[in-house]
A and B are shown apart, each in its own frame.
Chain A
Amino acid sequence: MAYTFLFTIGTTTAAAVSAVLLAALYASSVSQPRLHLSFWRALSGIPPVLVGLLVYMLFSQAGPLGFLRWLFTPKALITAQFLLALPTALALALRERTSLPRDMEDFIRVNLPNKKHQAYLAHLKGTLPSTFFVTWGRILGEVGAATLSGGAIEGYTSTLATDILYKTNLGQFKEALVLGALLLVVSLIPSVFLELSSYGASGH
């Protein structure tokens, strides 16, 4: 149980951090963020199980990356979580980028013609933690993609969420509830953080 707990935190954090940093780099380099935003926002609603299927087909023996032998290992699981987190992270980062008023776009273009990228990154920096937590929350309790890619193998690639489902099917409701409580506590962290940070940003 301790392994599953740490494993869940570890993989989801790695996936979300990677997704958020990549999203920041992406959102700070595009010149038409609004166009990209609608695309990624649409994609961020993709059903997780489809992402799982995609990763499965990708790493399947017959698939293009089958030679890596990643299927049913933590690597395939993290890949799935990363792909699941990416559209959300991108949509949030791009939205923050488009929140820059026209005057500020001009401000950056006139004053920092050679450091535009850095300026946009600096602008995104403040929201990276909240972007991370929202993204993290999306993959933390996810079952479908995690099962398809990682296989939900006990003590190896099972996460808190897949374990809850397994324990429930076994009829071990007490264990399932304990895991559920654990998942609940962990998944409350993002909301608590976001609540506190929005309180901090609005107060003086």
Chain B
Amino acid sequence: MSFIRPTFRHPDLPTNKIGYSRQDYEGALSTLCAGCGHDSVSGAIIQACFDMAIEPHRVAKLSGIGCSSKTPAYFLNNSHGFNSVHGRMPSVATGANLANRDLMYLGISGDGDSASIGMGQFVHAIRRNLNITYILMNNGCYGLTKGQDSATADVGSVNKSGHANQFSAIDMAGLALEMGATFVARSFSGDKHQLIPLIKAAMSHPGFALIDVVSPCVTFNNNPGSTKSYDYTRDHIETTAAMDYVPYQSEITAAYDEGNSVDVALHDGSFIQLHKLSPNWNPFDRHLAMNRVFEAKVKGEVLTGLIFIDQNHPDLHAMLDTVATPLNQLEQRNLVPGAGVLEGINAGWR
């Protein structure tokens, strides 16, 4: 059940440069459990879209099935949403994107939705470099069916019922790197200072942008033995780099030590400024990124931050060589070759 928020607005609420208040980016009241990591992610999405002054109706939000996939009802009420079937959001998003390349696509999924039932669609959307921000709310369990282990649960991680997972865990960031993802990041729902700029950067990225967000399940997987709990994540977090998102034509204000900071120019003229925590860090090197992700996995670290970015790879539309006009705006006169042409075609079949 979704509850609609009252539409009353305080007249003095701050607005962004297109005149929208933060509330204009909100959705229905969440029906998730109190303290659910996913609600923090929804909050970060709202904040990012507000800060970036995105027109809500220019965003399409799509999801699969599961707790995470319910969240698009809880943000961006003025955006069209599509809660599809389990594990199949990437294909629906592919179709939507093919129909209108001018909208921004926000895909919301979970570890059950993307790492199990939807694994095929997840990896193939990456291969095609679909232009989408893909937020994977990763809690290591199936919340909506009461806490079964998911395919991202670490070996030995103990869920609330006391069961320890025996099966190898899938590292979604590592997998995305292997599949050729052009933007790979990981974050933690409890760290909005990192998550918000990552979402902004992902939305500015012209291709498949994965943010694997560790988002603890307070009800079924936040117990002491779990490796996807708030406590475990806070204790084991490692960051590639501190980062700031610098909008187009804004002044760079964050001050980092020379030599340790990297500016990443994004497609739309904005920047990400990274403050490297490790001198060997290079977000443009896929090979290095894969090694680092693997290393972190072995050590039991939760490696967060922007892990890899490649802004130059063509997206699906570029690879298909489609026109700049969104396909859904082509008119009949652009699409019908005419009766005369058909007569010519007939002649070839005589």
A binds B: no
CB within 8 Å of A: which residues of B?
Answer: none
CB within 8 Å of B: which residues of A?
Answer: none
